[in-house]
Amino acid sequence: MKNSLLVLLICLICLGFASCKKNSDADPAVSIRVKNTSQYRYDSVYVSTLGGTRAYGPLEAGKSSDYKTFTSAYSTAAIRVVLDGTSWQLTPIDYVGMSPLSAGEYTYAISVVDYGQRRLGLTFEQP
């Protein structure tokens, strides 16, 4: 009986250690800011990646936002900008052939390509 309890106790301890995750094994964070490279003030900006959606708020022409953290992102993302009360969308087709970004700080520069057609442009910038 004592041996069975000892084996059970050792198994529980091993299971407890196996389920622990070290901080160094955690997925590194990707920090992304947006830069308004247009001549227009954006009422609000939203960035969606596989790591979630973040709201950046209003952004003046020529200005950059603070960094927001994502668990995963690529060099392109789904972007929604509200400009003059109208929602503008930029949606990537897919991420096939792309590699996820490594931990670090990056910038999505968002431009107005065609105001009449509500077309946005996205340029990826690395430090």
84 domain-assigned: yes
Q: What is the mean pLDDT of residues 4-12?
A: 43
121 domain-assigned: yes
Q: What's the total number of domains in the chain?
A: 1
1 domain-assigned: no
pLDDT digits (tens, 9 = 90+) for 55-81: 999 999 999 999 999 999 999 999 999
99, two tokens: 């590699």
pLDDT bin (cut points 50, 70, 90) of residue 18 is very low
15 domain-assigned: no
8 domain-assigned: no
If 0-12 CB within 10 Å is exposed, 13-18 middle and 19+ buried, where does residue 100 land? middle
Residue 121 belongs to what domain range?
Answer: 27-125
User: Are 107 and 47 in contact, with CB atoms under 8 Å apart?
Assistant: no
* CATH number of the domain bearing residue 109: 2.60.40.2890
pLDDT digits (tens, 9 = 90+) for 78-102: 999 999 999 999 999 888 999 999 9
10 domain-assigned: no
Question: CA quadruple 114, 89, 86, 117: dihedral positive or negative?
Answer: positive
pLDDT the model gives residue 70: 96
C-alpha span between 74 and 60 (Å, rounded): 25
pLDDT the model gives residue 27: 53
7 domain-assigned: no
66 domain-assigned: yes
